[in-house]
């Protein structure tokens, strides 16, 4: 099964990113610990982006995150996308609103 999910993150006042998902009861859920810098690579100067993501590769994806560990109830991921392999970020426990377990690979497209 290839379920592609979607969120629309927006820039916060302090250079970070957050998103809302009423269906998952998430309001102004921040991205932290390396993930804002990863989003910045693909967002450019835009203040809002659409992120499509899946635990399986899908047409049009721009790269993926590889799970490298778990901590603080979330998971650490390494970016694998066109020369950015040294970037690492942490996805908080909100990840489990979308997945039962932290996927080994998290494929994405940012528009």
- Sign of dihedral through CA atoms 49, 33, 94, 29? negative
For the stretch 41-51, pLDDT in tens is: 889 899 999 99
Domain boundaries, the chain: 5-110
pLDDT of 13 higher than 90: no
Task: Decide if pLDDT at 8 tops 90.
Answer: yes
Rounded average pLDDT over 82-91: 82
The verdict on pTM exceeding 0.85 is: yes
Which of these, 91, 111, 86, lies nearest to 102 by C-alpha position?
A: 91
Residue-level pLDDT at 2: 57
């Amino acid at each position: 099964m290839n379920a592609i999910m979607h969120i629309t993150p927006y820039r916060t006042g302090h250079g970070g990113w957050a998103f809302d998902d009423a269906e998952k009861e998430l309001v102004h859920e921040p991205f932290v610990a390396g993930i804002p810098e990863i989003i910045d690579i693909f967002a450019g100067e835009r203040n809002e982006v659409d992120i499509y993501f899946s635990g399986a590769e899908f047409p049009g994806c721009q790269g993926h995150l590889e799970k490298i560990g778990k901590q603080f109830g979330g998971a650490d991921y390494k970016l694998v996308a066109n020369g950015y392999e040294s970037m690492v970020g942490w996805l908080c426990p909100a990840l489990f609103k979308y997945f039962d377990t932290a996927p080994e690979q998290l494929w994405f497209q940012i528009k």
